[in-house]
Structure 1
Amino acid sequence: MQSIVPKLMVFVDGSNLLIELSKFLNINFRADKPPLNAIKLSSILVDSFNKYNQWNFIRKYWFSSYQGDDKYFYNLKKKLRENDFEPILFKRKNKREKGVDIALTKEMLINAFNQNFDIGLMIAGDEYYTELVFELKRYGPKIYGSFFEKYGLSDNLKLSFDKFYPLDDRVDKVVWQKYIYEIKEELK
Structure 2
Amino acid sequence: MSTHSIALLVLLALTVFWGVGGYNRLMRLKNSIADAFNGVDFQFKDRHDLLLKLTEAAGEYLHHEPSTLTALMQARSDSSTAQDAVRARPSHAKLIQELMDAEQQLNDKLDKLWAASTHNLSMLADPKIRELAQQLITTQSKLAFGCQSFNASVGLFNAARRQFPTLLIARLFGFSAAANLVIGQDNV
TM range (shorter): under 0.3
Q: Indicate the structure (1 or 2) with the bigger Cα radius of gyration.
A: 2
Q: Which has the higher contact order (CA 8 A, sep 6+)?
A: 2
